[in-house]
A and B are shown apart, each in its own frame.
Chain A
Amino acid sequence: QKEVEQDPGPLSVPEGAIVSLNCTYSNSAFQYFMWYRQYSRKGPELLMYTYSSGNKEDGRFTAQVDKSSKYISLFIRDSQPSDSATYLCAMTRAGAGSYQLTFGKGTKLSVIP
């Protein structure tokens, strides 16, 4: 079992829909959780990050972490065609070695106008 599991999709939704993306993980040492967005032929860019459990909202994006279930989610409200990209979850532990991120395989999202 990989440390981080993420459904690769592809996921196709109509414009304006609410999108739910998620990852599960097995390493209980993970404390920091991130979501990256990657457009085709580009490097990933950091979208949101959270520490430990809880919710964080930024505009149309909400990140949720449930450490008891080892489950993280990213919600996108009022999805736009420009949101079409691959979304990668990433996580790391606290302290020494925290620079080393463990990524999910990514979910490819298409938002249809």
Chain B
Amino acid sequence: GAGVSQSPSNKVTEKGKDVELRCDPISGHTALYWYRQSLGQGLEFLIYFQGNSAPDKSGLPSDRFSAERTGGSVSTLTIQRTQQEDSAVYLCASSAPDRGMWGYTFGSGTRLTVV
């Protein structure tokens, strides 16, 4: 597709359940990033992928959070045993090899609500 696609667009889950969030980056974009946007907190970096490897996972808030990327394309962010403080918009972005920080294209995000 022409842009970064994220699914689902909205997710309501019960506290304690696991959730999977999906990101389809722009074709050919080798770098992929996950950010979290909480009310009043702004965007916070979670993890960076280059190809299928994640050289920087420093933003993942706890070991309940994990992410993987397969085939240099689709990425999945998994949150286990969700808590109410996990409620936020989870944004994925990708960039082309020669664009780096200037070439972020964000998806529209997944709005996660933990009840």
B side interface size, CB within 8 A: 25
Most buried by A among B4, B59, B101, B106: B101
Q: Are A88 and B102 in contact (CB under 8 A)?
A: no
Q: Chain A residues near B91: list those with CB within 8 A.
A: 43-44
Which listed residue, B40, B43, B106, touches A45 by the CB 8 Å rule? B106
Most buried by B among A34, A92, A99, A100: A99
Nearest chain B residue, comparing its CB with the CB of A8: B40
The prevalent SS among residues of B at the interface is: strand
CA distance A31 to B107 in the complex (A): 26
| Interface presence of A27 (CB below 8 A) | no
Known A-B contacts A97-B56, A100-B45, A105-B40; A43 and B31 likewise in contact (beta carbons under 8 Å) = no
Residues in chain B within 8 A of chain A (CB atoms): 4, 31, 33, 35, 40-45, 48, 56, 59, 91, 93, 95, 100-102, 104-109
- 18 pairs of residues in contact across A and B, judged by CB atoms under 8 Å: A8-B40, A41-B108, A43-B91, A43-B107, A43-B108, A44-B43, A45-B106, A88-B43, A90-B43, A98-B100, A99-B33, A99-B95, A100-B45, A101-B101, A103-B43, A105-B40, A105-B42, A106-B42
10 A-B pairs with the lowest CB-CB distances in the bound complex, closest first: A43-B106, A105-B42, A103-B43, A103-B42, A100-B45, A43-B108, A44-B106, A43-B107, A42-B108, A98-B101
